[in-house]
Structure 1
């Protein structure tokens, strides 16, 4: 059983997690989050640790930001929209057990006050900002770095929050280019 408690959006996500690993979850009840849920997360973080594992869509990213702002130091698991989409529906509940296990093996921990080696200029040089295909490029780089998809501003914040090193960024960029992105 995982030591940490996984924060997910709903019952279907809990079911998918339990098909993949032995773990306990806290369900937020969707994109809304109330004080009782915050209290459960606070207690879980204090006693066992927390992994945030929300859907890679607007509502899931909003929840991730709300929880992270209130509880710095949570571990985070990410899957891409591609990995979690089934019949047009995006959600952790659509991921395979193998994908969920892989995401849980590649956890990131946020460090709110960290200085990153990655700058906005690095993102520009990699075509992750102000490029006709910037969104697709960030999706691919986010997958390779294990930080998920984000808009340009949030992508830089995630690089900082998760202390992505220049070496990690350059290695991901090399794989990114091997995948056909130039």
Structure 2
């Protein structure tokens, strides 16, 4: 059984999680997260720890940001849009058992004090921003690093939030260049 409580968006996500692992969940009920849910997540974080596993879409990212801002120190699991899409619908409930297990095996933790040596210049040099293929490059490198897909500003913030080192970033960037070359 997973010690931490996994925060998901809805009942179908809970069902998918329970197919993959033995764990308890808190459902946010969508992106309109209320004070009572935040209180439950805070209590869960104090008592057992929290893993945030939301859909890889705009609403899921909004929920993740709200939780991160109000409940520091949460662990984060990410599933790619590709792995979470079925018949045009994006959601954790569409991910395979293997995908969910892999996401939970590759957790990242947010930190209150941001300590990362990655700069915006590093992102420019790697083609993550201000590049014709920046979005697809961020998608690929985000997958390699286990931090999911996001726009350039959020990519930079996630690198800092999850304390991705310049060496980790460079290794992911080199891996991408090898795969593309």
**1:14 partner SS:** helix
Per-residue deviation, 1:115: 2.1
**2:26 partner SS:** strand
**Counterpart in 2 of 1:100?**
100
Alignment of 1:16-55 (within 5 A): 16-55=16-55
Using the alignment, how far apart are the partners of 2:24 and 2:132 within structure 1? 42
**2:114 partner SS:** coil
**Counterpart in 2 of 1:3?**
3
TM-score norm. by structure 2 comes to 0.98
**2:14 partner SS:** helix
**Aligned residue-pair number:** 181
Alpha-carbon deviations, 1:53-95, whole Å to 9, x = none?
Answer: 0001000000000000001100000011111111111101110
Per-residue deviation, 1:177: 1.1
Per-residue deviation, 1:112: 2.6
**Counterpart in 1 of 2:63?**
63
**1:66 partner SS:** helix
Per-residue deviation, 1:170: 1.3
Using the alignment, how far apart are the partners of 1:12 and 1:38 within structure 2? 20
Per-residue deviation, 1:36: 1.3
Per-residue deviation, 1:122: 0.6
Alpha-carbon deviations, 1:13-44, whole Å to 9, x = none?
Answer: 00110010000000000111111111110110
Per-residue deviation, 1:175: 1.2
Matched, 1:169 2:169: yes
**Counterpart in 2 of 1:91?**
91
Alignment of 1:69-80 (within 5 A): 69-80=69-80
**1:179 partner SS:** helix
Alignment of 1:83-162 (within 5 A): 83-162=83-162
Any gaps of 5 or more consecutive residues in structure 1? none
Using the alignment, how far apart are the partners of 2:25 and 2:80 within structure 1? 20
**Counterpart in 2 of 1:179?**
179
Root mean square deviation, CA, Å: 0.9
Any gaps of 5 or more consecutive residues in structure 2? none
TM-score norm. by structure 1 comes to 0.97
